[in-house]
Structure 1
Amino acid sequence: MTTHRLSTPRIRIPWSLERPSPLPLLAVWTLSRAGMLALLWDDTLGVGKIGREVYLLYQHWYGQLSQGAFPLADVTWQYPPGAGLVILAPGLLEPLTYYQGFVALTLCTDAAVSVALARAGGSGAWVWVGGLPLLLHMPLVRYDVQTTAFAVFALLAVQAGRPRLGGVLAGLGAMVKVWPALTLLGTAPGRPTRRAWASALLAAVALMTVLALAFSDPLEFLRHQGGRGVQIESLGGSALSVAHLAGWPGAVQYRYGSFEFTGPHVPVVARLSLLLTVAAFCWLLLWRVRARRWTTATGPDAALAAVLLFTVTSRVISPQYMIWLLGLAAVCLTCRITSQRPVTLLLLPAAALSALAYPVLYEHVLAVTPLGCAVMVARNALLIAATAVSCRRLWRATAPGLPAVEDH
């Protein structure tokens, strides 16, 4: 009878990957980001004015945070307290306006992620550099690029054999938007996991302590999570959109910072989404317990599968969530033996459809027209397929008694 020693897993190291040629990558980054900036300058595509998230909402939060208090009784503030530092950062770039500073910091973060992925080798840098513009100019006016940077740097640090640094980055990222904590799910059992998770916890507690001393009401965001309904772009929203076309009498309303469905049976759909999220969490725990084969690709592969699971089961799937998935997929492709290569091929068209839905055809999505419904159903079908493929290939790559997935 064969025994498996989880405390000393055998880590298979992939053969070295060539770094992408810097000049073509730099040329594509420069041209694509110039195009994104041009779209943002005009900001009339589709529904237009997507930059107002920054110059109205973020700048409003900046005014409150600069007075030493987190937004109070503001249902749109639904983020951990670490997000406040990201919101405050553009104010340091005077004489730039807040809007200009935010876009400049986002571009700098984007460039840093691109460089880190290029140095790691493989095709990950190309996925990030070429995939982000599929979302048009939206990534420049959301703080999800900064959040994704924490996750990318954390995964790359763990891959490089620095679990403590990876844990610190993941812990800080979790204080900005929770989900970067999932980057540690696939850390090899034993000492690497203990070091990574202990470092993440210490970093999160340290940052929380500093913020609690410097600001009032740092936990105010917790009050506004439970009341959220079913966003029109979520899987549940797609089901309700189809039902609306078939005669269901629900309506679309702006609530909690997004457009949600209201009407009969919506609470049932919301509860079903929560149950699916719990089921996803249980599956991830089962995978972790059953996993026996560990490679340097397991960490990013598991992170992508986990974030996909929590994305598709969420009551909210905002278009900026695709930034997270593209960043994680890019890290996966820095490893030649990743199991997630087909998943990336599904995420790229899903990103393009997300941009088609918002901002290009968002009026159709809000009006629940057949065209708007078709685009959202197609995007969400790709996400479901990506999640199923990701989980299946992760399981086969790590579970005992099954042939490992091979990618070339």
Structure 2
Amino acid sequence: MTTQNFAPARPRRWTLENELWTLWLLFIGVHALYGWVASWHPSVPFNDVTGVYRGWVESAIATGSFPGVHEPFVYPVGALGPMLLTNLIGPGEAYGLAWMIIVIVLDCIALWWLTMRQNTNVSAGMRRTAAWWWLAFLVLLGPIALGRIDTLTVPIVLIALLEIRSRVRTSGFWLTIGAWFKVWPAAAFAGAFAVIERRWKLVQGALIGCVVVLLPVMVFNGTDGLRNAFSFVTGQTGRGLQLESAAASVFLVFKSLGNSDYEVRFDYDILTQQISGPGVDLVGDLLTPLMFVMVLILLALGFWWHRKGAGMARVFPALLLALVTSFIVFNKVGSPQFMTWLAPIIVLGLVWDGRRFAPLAWISLVIAGLTQYIYPWFYWTVVGAAPIGAFALFIRNALLVVLLVAAVLYMRPLKAERVTKAVGGSATEPASSVDDADASSEEGTVAS
């Protein structure tokens, strides 16, 4: 009688298919988890959606006066579109659920674009790495990553940036549409304009995007509608220094250490916590012009260093990150949802210039985790100026400054690039990521 040897079953290898299934299930699961958390959390992280956005839409339908069309609006008028669409999908009590459906669909389209659309070319590995980073960023940032109009701009900007080397006009169009939802994608458009050679195609896309948004406004309310569509530009100029802003966090630390000259108060007109006290108004008045000056300086540096030899794969993601972080650091507003702006920029940096961009990606994850700690879980420690809350906010904002400085340094051409440019050759990138060869090969279609 023979005996049969039974060897233990060998574990299955971690295949590409397993990785993608895991990534997608976790990605959708995180959306579902934070949608559920938002439904009961006492800080109401979806209040802007279920309260403010829904209230605007219901009032507009009831009165026939639509914000951004018939009256001034705090957001660019394009933001009204997804708010109305949400009401169409799920009016009344279902508004929050309908919003989450739109968010999940848009984010899944962007994830498909990142992981599936070009999953066989040389950049596939870096794209999957960037997708895992995006998932980690969402986990760390928390419910606020899904519950604001900023959320909808993230997948739009992400896809536009991934396609900008080969579809300049289309990317210009979608960056403009994103800017008509929330202003910050205009920074990405400006960065692209500074370093891309085929600028006219970028502008063509922007003009088409503006026509798509503004033509219906003029149809419904003529030139008055056009004036209301741009009312967001000056609509919040009189606001104070918001508590979570980078500048305010310094004054909040003073208060947490016992300085009674500073006071935290809630502004019922714009529904935000603000800080007041000695020097606060002066700093608030200086921030907006400082922001514009900083943006101009960054655009000039990006343009100059690209001309001096910094390749597109090196200078473009770093320039965008510098512009976006300057929008956050030099801003009187410091809402936690602003951190979502980092996501598409870091994803682009990881895909185009992975190894060099990795430290910035890690810093961004720490920023995201601190932001979730601050809001929604321990917001009371910030509003109450408790030292643990005040210092958490200060460290988060200090890391944003670090990110800004690092991004500027990353824009500079390497010595080898400067030498190559000086002798009349074409600037080439060192193999800093799997995608560098792909970036360099396609760069000629868009950049120098």
Do residues 164 (structure 1) and 169 (structure 2) align?
yes
CA contact (8 A) 1:183 1:299 kept: no
Determine if contact 2:154/2:343 at 8 Å carries over to the other structure. Answer: no
Contact 2:69 2:229 in 1 (8 A): no
Separation in 2, partners of 1:218, 1:279: 25
Flag the 1:273–1:399 CA change in 2: closer, same or farther, 3 A. farther
Instruction: Report whether the alignment pairs 1:124 with 2:130.
Output: yes
The equivalent residue for 2:79 is 83
Partner residue of 1:250 out of 256, 262, 287: 262
Of 66, 86, 92, 2:88 maps to 92
Partner SS state of residue 266, structure 2: strand
Are 2:194 and 2:303, in contact at CA under 8 Å, matched by a contact in 1? Answer: no
Q: Could you tell me which residue of structure 2 aligns to residue 355 of structure 1? A: 372
User: What are the Cα deviations for residues 297-327 of structure 1, in whole angstroms up to 9, with x where unaligned?
Assistant: 5433322221012211111121111111022
Runs of 5+ unmatched residues, structure 2: 1-15, 119-123, 421-428, 434-448
Cα deviation code 1:121-150 (max 9, x no counterpart): 312211212211212222232121211222
Distance of 1:71 and 1:257 partners within structure 2: 19
Change beyond 3 A, Cα 1:351–1:73: farther
Deviation, structure 1 residue 191: 4.7
SS of the counterpart of 1:69?
A: coil
TM-score (norm 1): 0.86
Which residue is 1:27 aligned to? Answer: 25
Normalized per residue, the structure richer in helix is 2
Superposition pairs for residues 108-187 of structure 1, below 5 Å?
108-119=105-116, 121=124, 122=126, 123-159=129-165, 161-184=166-189, 185-186=191-192
Seen in structure 2, the aligned counterparts of structure 1 residues 170 and 392 have a Cα distance that, compared at 3 Å, is same
Asked if 2 retains the 8 angstrom alpha-carbon contact of 1:298 and 1:338, the reply is no
Equivalent residue, structure 1, for 2:441: none
Q: Which range moves more in the overlay, 246-255 or 210-219?
A: 210-219
Change (3 A) 1:73 1:237: farther
- More deviation in 130-139 or 366-375? 130-139
Equivalent residue, structure 1, for 2:250: 239
Aligned residue number for residue 274 of structure 2: 260
Q: Structure 1 stretch 65-74 or stretch 294-303: which is displaced more?
A: 65-74
Alignment of 1:311-390 (within 5 A): 311-336=328-353, 339-390=356-407
Q: Which amino acid aligns with 1:186?
A: A
Distance 1:73 1:90, change over 3 A: closer
* Per-residue Cα deviation, 1:29-80 (whole angstroms, up to 9, x for no partner): 1332332233123324xxx2222222211111112443352169999x4211
Larger radius of gyration: 2
> Could you tell me how far apart the structure 1 residues matched to 2:18 and 2:199 are?
31
Q: Take 2:391 and 2:398, find their aligned partners in 1: how far apart are those partners? A: 10
Note the alpha carbon deviations across 1:261-304, whole angstroms, 9 max, x for none.
Answer: 12332111113322431331232132133122333454333222
Indicate the SS of the match to 2:239: coil
Amino acid corresponding to residue 48 of structure 2 in structure 1: E
Residue 50 (structure 1) aligned with residue 45 (structure 2)? yes
Q: Is the 8 A contact 1:296 1:335 kept in 2?
A: yes
Q: Partner letter of residue 293 of structure 2?
A: A
> Identity, % of aligned pairs?
24
Which moved further from structure 2: 246-255 or 211-220?
211-220
Give the conservation status (yes or no) of the 8 Å contact 1:233–1:376: yes
TM-score, scaled to structure 2: 0.78
Question: In the alignment, what sits opposite 1:4?
Answer: none
- Shift of residue 399, structure 1, vs aligned partner: 11
* Cα pair 1:150 1:180 within 8 Å, conserved: no
Distance 1:330 1:19 in 2: 21
* Distance in 2 between residues matched to 1:263 and 1:73, nearest whole Å: 37
Map 1:300-311; keep pairs closer than 5 Å: 300-311=317-328
Measured on the aligned residues, the alpha-carbon RMSD in Å equals 2.8
Out of 99-108 and 358-367, give the one that drifted further.
Answer: 99-108
Report the equivalent of 2:208.
Answer: 202
* Distance in 1, Cα, partners of 2:414 & 2:274: 38
Change (3 A) 1:21 1:241: same
Q: What's 1:281 paired with?
A: 295
Match of 1:221 in 2: 232
Partners of 1:398 and 1:200 lie apart in 2 by 35
Do 1:151 and 1:173's aligned partners in 2 also have CA atoms closer than 8 Å?
yes
What corresponds to 1:407 in structure 2? Answer: 432
Structure 1 residues 370 and 405 mapped into 2: Cα distance closer, same or farther (>3 Å)?
farther
Question: Can you give the 5+ residue segments of structure 1 that lack an aligned partner in the other structure?
Answer: 1-17
Compared with structure 1, are the counterparts of its residues 28 and 270 closer, same or farther at alpha carbon in structure 2 (3 Å cutoff)?
A: same
Q: Distance in 2 between matches of 1:393 and 1:271?
A: 30
Contact kept in structure 1, 2:86 and 2:102, CA below 8 Å: yes
In structure 2, the CA distance between the partners of 1:287 and 1:60, relative to structure 1 (3 Å rule), is same
Say whether 1:299 aligns with 2:316.
yes
